[in-house]
Amino acid sequence: MSKVVLFIIVANVLFSLKGFNDQLFFNKNKFQIGAIKNGEYLRMLTSGFLHVDPKHLLFNMITLYFFGDNVVNILGLWKFLLIYFGSLIFGGLFSLSYHKDDLYYSAVGASGAVMGVIYAAIMLYPDMALGFIFFPFFDIPGYIFGLGYLLYSIYGMKNSVGNIGHSAHLGGAIGGFALTLLLFPDVLSQNTKMVIILGIPILLLFIFEKKLSKN
């Protein structure tokens, strides 16, 4: 594992453990529409290092472990960081827009950043496959996992599943998609089919945005 991916995982673990044991710290740093509209913009960053519970933290960090190094290996340290934090901010902005009228809406999680890394990794390595301890006898294509994660996010947005930032997943995917094209435009000619496959859900999201909206 690259040092930068390890550092981000450790930072998420330490920040989340603090949040698990300190409700005041958790409430002060979580993503909340009303507080952000009142000028507490730092929450858009700090909320990405908090998690609802150990299971939520473990899932995000294992996913980052599987996909992160693939992005670092091709794009390098600084471009990986741009995609990670850019997707985190993109996810926050999307959530802010989607829930703009719900001042009490709150969420936490690195999911927006992780979703951006997933998208970047699949665009760069379209043939990648994941081997999970739960499925030891076969591998899951990376793009199946990524699209499945995105569909779950849409379901979570519509049904308000947990205190997880499902809308941030979608914003993170958009951020990861756009930033990868910007930072490594050759991917468009090298892996055209996968770029199109991953771009379709984003396009449909914009087309059916009003139907997706709770309002």
Where are the chain's structural domains?
3-212
**pLDDT tens for the chain, residues 1 to 215:** 799 999 999 999 999 999 999 999 999 999 999 999 999 999 999 999 999 889 889 989 988 998 999 999 999 999 999 999 999 999 999 888 888 888 888 889 898 999 999 999 999 998 887 765 445 566 777 778 777 777 766 665 555 544 555 567 788 989 999 999 999 999 999 999 889 988 888 887 777 655 555 44
57 φ, ψ (degrees, to nearest 5) = -60, -45
Joined tokens for residue 6: 């390890």
In this prediction the pTM is: 0.87
Burial of residue 93 (number of CB atoms within 10 Å: 0-12, 13-18, 19+): middle
- C-alpha span between 193 and 73 (Å, rounded): 22
Cα–Cα distance measured from residue 157 to residue 165, given in angstroms and rounded to the nearest whole number: 8
Q: What is the pLDDT of residue 215?
A: 43
pLDDT of residue 146: 78
Measured CA to CA, the distance from residue 49 to residue 57 in angstroms comes to: 9
- Among 60, 67, 94, smallest CA distance to 170 is for 94
Give the pLDDT score at 18: 96
Q: Which residues have CB under 8 Å from 201's CB, separation 6+? A: 147, 150, 151, 173
Q: Which residue in this structure is represented by tokens 């993503």?
A: 31
* pLDDT value of position 178: 95
Residues with Cβ within 8 Å of 204's Cβ and at least 6 positions away in sequence, in order, are: none
As a whole number of angstroms, the distance between CA 67 and CA 8 comes to 13
3-212 under CATH 1.20.1540.10, yes or no: yes
